[in-house]
Each structure stands twice: as structure tokens, then as C-alpha cells.
């Protein structure tokens, strides 16, 4: 019964949103979890909550013209998807990457709605970005682009309306340039963006939050099975913000990270990426903006060109780069090699085939909307500090983040118990747990 409904529902979604496979993938995963729950809760069916929740409240697309260092005119496309404001102002990151198009941002905005709901904080969901490629651009070119991008975006956002942050290709540098332009246009110093630098309104722990949060959630899943990260070999993909702070926290909890990667290849360091090596990675990636290959040369370890880390044996995997980076085959290799837990630092890094492999093997699998929610949760904490015009200590923010990740774990357990309660389906738990709060708020607020 539920299955037929999912098929009919998806047929409509696909027809209304053609050529957006990533969006279809994200919606299907939620529909499969939520539809059986709806069968028992007809009030949501009558109000067509699921049909409404897949329709963005507003989509903004705009031209971003700018000039490169040689004086040549460049044109990019900018987007902001204001997906759902039932729980609070739209909140979610901006992605600058050449693969960005409407479908990618709609999938990310859709995921964000449920993720933000899971954080327990009052935030709606949104996402934006551009097909601009920051790679190989000078600081000046990045600034010119960010200023042009914000010139248009500024009319659609605000500290009580829509609060963007970083994602792939958008870090502290880009947030700074965009904040500067917003302030100049509006003559207002407000918390309109999160991920700001500490000396002008940022929060301690926000840079660390996604990686730390993902590691806390994996530790909670393992603790639930009377196990822990201590002594575990971990593979991490990516080498950006999320990957870096995952390595830091895994080390602090007694695990060992043996890989990092970028879109060119993977480094394998069986001795483990310790604090000193991580400092090298941070300098390489955040300051020099180099390639992870240079790590292999520096520390005399293996570099596997053009490959992802999933064939390297590990106890725990942290995909922290990009969507669909773990195929069904990759998942099989991970399980075969003894992987017992996966924490999705990235958004939707596992394909549907891969998710089925993990679920059938009954390993601990935390989907992105639960596992990487620590980033946006700490953005929410940054917003609270901005509103109060004060700053909390590192310890205070970290404790709040940790508490939020444990609360997300509890929600997943509550809604994701399968059979006699031994196996937790964290996908189902996160989807239903995230959905209920948004759906109830939508019912309360009438037909909007």
C-alpha cells in the first residue's frame, strides 16, 4: 500500500521537477520513511503536508556579473532556495562550485528543512549558491564575485528572514566579503550570515561544529551498542572544513584517521593523521589552497590518484566531501572490509544502493541530516549570540553542540526503532523525527 503511494507521489514530483535527479533522490528517501507513518496519521494526509513540503516557498535565480583580474567580463548564475519557514527564518549554506544548478540546491534545501528541525532550534530551511568556481581565482576575483553575488542576494535575506552560511567553496574568506557588502548596502551590522570571524560576530566552535558534531553522533551510535571510537581506524573523505575537524575530534576521542581526499585523489596514511599532520593539512588547504597529493609527498605515504577512500579497510567511515560519493559497490567494499559505522559529514554522500547495503548489513548508519546537523546547529547558536550581542565561551558552545547531537541521537532512536528495538534505522528515525515538527507547525499555521 505504502509502496504504491510512494510511486504515485514520486511520479508527480518527477513530472513537476524534471531533470533534477538529486532532488528526486532526496525526496524519495524521505517519502519512503514518512509514507507508512502518514498512513497512521491522516491529519497530515488531508492537509497535503508532503505535497506542500516538496514545493519551495520561494526560488530566487539571478545573474551575477563580475570582472576578472584581466578585466574580462564573467557571468555566473546565483540562487537562493527559500524552502520552508514553518519553524523559523530560512537557514542554510551557500555552495560555490561549477556543478551547482537548481536541482542540487533544491536537494540541499529540502534536506536542510528536516536537518534544522532535528537540531531543536527555531530555524526553517534554505540553501543557495552559484556555479562560480573559486579554484584558481585570486582573492581579488573571489571578492569581486562575492560583492556582485551579495548585491542581488541582499534584497532577499535578513537576520529575521533568511540567514545564509558556508558550504562547499564558501568558508571564512567568502563569508567576510559577503558580509562586508551586505553591511555597505544596508548600513546595518546584523547577524545576516553565520560562519563569521570571531572578532566581528562569529561564534567559537562554528568552524569545528560540523566535523565535531558528526563525530559526537557516531560516538553516540557506538555507545548505544556498548562500543566507542577508541582504537578505531577511520577513513575520511574530503579535506575541507568538515573533514579537517572530523580528524581533530576522532583523534581526541582516541580513534585514528588513515585517509583524506579531494576531487583529484586519496592519501592513505596507515600511521594516522595526528595533530601535527592535521596542522599541515589546514595550512595546505585553507591558506595555500593546494592539493591533498602534497600530503603524500610530505609524509611519504601512498597517494591513490582519481580514487575515493572506500576500498581502504576501516572500522568507521566519514564521507565528508560531496553527494553520491559512496556507490553500492563502495558500500559493499566497506562492509566486507569490516566497517561497523558510517557518519555522513557530507550531504547525501551515499547513493540509495549504498544506503540499502549498510541497512541490510545492520551497521550503524547516520544519514547526513542527522550526522552533519552540528554545523547548522552552531550557526543557530551564533544567531542567538548575535541577537543578545554577547559571546559564549568555547566550552559553553561545545557543550551545547554536544547536547544537541545527543538529542538528535535520541530522536533517531525514538522514531527509528525497528522490530523488537534492537536495530535502529537512523534514516527512518531522522526523516520522521525531522518531519513531525515541521508538519505540526505547518498545520498550526494554516494553508500557507
Give the catalytic positions in this structure: 127
Residues near ligand NDP (CB under 6 A), total: 23
State the Cα–Cα distance between residues 128 and 411, nearest whole angstrom.
28
Q: Select from 78, 202, 240, 434 the one that contacts ligand NDP (CB under 6 A).
A: 240
By beta carbon distance, the residue nearest ligand 2IT is 93
Q: Which does 240 bind (CB under 5 to 8 A by kind): ligand 2IT, ligand NDP, none?
A: ligand NDP
Pick the binder of ligand 2IT from 129, 169, 176, 375 (CB under 6 A): 375
Residue of 159, 150, 164 lying closest to 82 (CA atoms): 164
Q: Which one of 56, 103, 128, 169 is in contact with ligand NDP (CB under 6 A)?
A: 169
E strands present in 400-440: 417-418, 423-424
Answer yes or no whether residue 347 interacts with ligand 2IT by CB under 6 A.
Answer: yes
Distance CA 150, CA 78 (A): 9
Judged by CB under 6 A, does residue 239 bind ligand NDP?
Answer: yes
Does 93 bind ligand 2IT (CB under 6 A)? Our answer is yes
Q: Does 191 bind ligand NDP (CB under 6 A)?
A: no
Q: Are 376 and 195 in contact (CB under 8 A)?
A: no
9/114 with CB nearer ligand NDP: 114
Sole binder of ligand 2IT in the list 33, 76, 119, 194 (CB under 6 A)? 194
Decide which of ligand 2IT, ligand NDP, none touches 346; Cβ closer than 5 to 8 Å per partner kind.
Answer: ligand NDP
Identify what 241 binds: ligand 2IT, ligand NDP, none; CB under 5 to 8 Å per kind.
Answer: ligand NDP
Of 36-44, 197-205, 261-269, 433-441, the window that binds ligand NDP (rule: CB under 6 A) is 261-269
* Distance of alpha carbon 382 from alpha carbon 401, whole angstroms: 11
Task: Report if residue 372 touches ligand NDP, rule: CB under 6 A.
Answer: yes
Give the pairing of strands 125-130 and 162-165: unpaired
Q: Which does 91 bind (CB under 5 to 8 A by kind): ligand 2IT, ligand NDP, none?
A: ligand 2IT
| Burial 412-434, CB ≥16 within 10 A → b, else e | bbebbeeeeeeebbbbbbbbbbb
Binding track over 100-129 against ligand 2IT, x by CB under 6 A: ------------x--x--------------
Q: List the interface residues with ligand 2IT, window 164-183 (CB under 6 A).
A: 165, 167
Asked if 238 contacts 309 with a C-beta cutoff of 8 angstroms, the reply is no
CB under 8 Å to 82, separation ≥6 — which residues? 56, 57, 58, 59, 60, 90, 109, 124, 126, 156, 162
Assign 299 to helix, strand or coil.
helix
Nearer to ligand NDP, 147 or 323 (CB): 323
* Cα gap 346→321, rounded to integer Å: 6
Alpha-carbon separation of residue 422 from 33, 224, 227, 286, 360 (angstroms) = 18, 10, 15, 43, 14
**Please, are residues 54 and 31 in contact by the beta-carbon 8 Å criterion?**
no
Closer residue to ligand 2IT in complex, CB, 194/237 = 194
C-alpha–C-alpha distance, residues 66 and 141, integer Å? 8
Contacts with ligand NDP in 312-331 (CB under 6 A)? Answer: 320-322
Residues that bind ligand 2IT (CB under 6 A): 91-93, 112, 115, 165, 167, 194, 347, 375-376, 379
Amino acid at each position: 500500500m505504502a509502496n504504491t503511494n510512494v510511486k504515485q507521489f514520486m511520479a508527480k514530483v518527477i513530472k513537476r521537477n524534471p531533470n533534477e535527479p538529486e532532488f528526486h533522490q532526496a525526496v524519495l528517501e524521505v517519502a519512503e520513511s514518512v509514507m507508512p507513518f502518514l498512513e497512521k496519521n491522516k491529519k497530515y494526509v488531508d492537509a497535503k503536508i508532503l505535497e506542500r513540503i516538496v514545493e519551495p516557498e520561494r526560488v530566487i535565480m539571478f545573474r551575477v556579473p563580475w570582472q576578472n583580474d584581466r578585466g574580462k567580463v564573467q557571468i555566473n548564475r546565483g540562487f537562493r532556495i527559500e524552502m520552508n519557514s514553518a519553524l523559523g527564518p530560512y537557514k542554510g549554506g551557500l555552495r560555490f562550485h561549477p556543478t551547482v544548478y537548481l536541482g542540487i540546491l533544491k536537494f540541499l534545501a529540502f534536506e536542510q528543512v528536516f536537518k534544522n528541525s532535528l537540531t531543536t532550534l527555531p530555524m526553517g530551511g534554505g540553501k543557495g549558491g552559484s556555479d562560480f568556481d573559486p579554484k584558481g581565482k585570486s582573492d581579488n576575483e573571489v571578492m569581486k564575485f562575492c560583492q556582485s553575488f551579495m548585491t542581488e542576494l541582499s534584497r532577499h535575506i535578513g537576520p529575521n528572514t533568511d540567514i545564509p552560511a558556508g558550504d562547499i567553496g564558501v568558508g571564512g574568506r567568502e563569508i567576510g566579503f559577503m558580509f562586508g557588502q551586505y553591511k555597505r548596502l544596508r548600513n546595518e551590522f546584523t547577524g545576516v550570515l553565520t560562519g563569521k570571524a570571531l572578532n566581528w560576530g562569529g561564534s567559537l566552535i562554528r568552524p569545528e561544529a560540523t566535523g565535531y558534531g558528526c563525530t559526537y553522533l557516531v560516538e553516540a551510535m557506538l555507545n548505544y551498542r556498548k562500543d566507542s571510537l577508541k582504537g578505531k581506524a577511520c577513513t575520511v573523505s574530503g579535506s575541507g572544513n568538515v573533514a579537517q575537524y572530523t580528524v581533530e575530534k576522532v583523534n581526541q576521542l582516541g580513534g585514528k584517521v588513515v585517509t583524506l581526499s579531494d576531487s583529484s585523489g586519496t592519501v592513505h596514511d596507515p600511521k594516522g593523521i595526528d595533530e601535527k599532520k592535521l596542522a599541515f593539512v589546514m595550512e595546505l588547504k585553507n591558506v595555500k589552497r593546494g592539493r591533498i597529493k602534497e600530503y603524500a609527498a610530505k609524509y611519504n605515504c601512498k597517494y591513490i590518484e582519481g580514487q575515493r577512500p572506500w576500498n581502504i579497510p576501516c572500522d568507521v567511515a566519514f564521507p565528508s566531501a560531496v553527494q553520491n560519493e559512496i556507490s553500492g559497490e563502495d558500500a559493499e567494499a566497506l562492509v566486507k572490509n569490516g566497517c561497523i559505522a558510517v557518519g555522513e559529514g557530507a550531504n547525501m554522500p551515499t547513493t540509495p544502493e549504498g544506503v540499502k547495503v549498510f541497512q541490510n548489513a545492520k551497521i550503524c548508519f547516520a544519514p547526513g541530516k542527522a550526522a552533519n546537523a552540528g554545523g547548522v546547529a552552531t550557526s543557530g547558536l551564533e544567531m542567538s549570540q548575535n541577537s543578545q550581542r554577547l559571546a559564549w565561551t568555547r566550552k559553553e558552545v561545545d557543550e551545547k553542540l554536544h547536547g544537541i547531537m545527543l538529542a538528535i541521537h535520541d530522536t533517531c532512536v525514538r522514531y527509528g526503532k525497528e522490530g523488537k528495538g534492537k536495530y535502529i534505522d537512523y534514516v527512518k528515525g531522522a526523516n520522521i523525527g525531522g518531519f513531525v515538527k515541521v508538519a505540526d507547525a505547518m498545520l498550526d499555521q494554516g494553508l500557507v
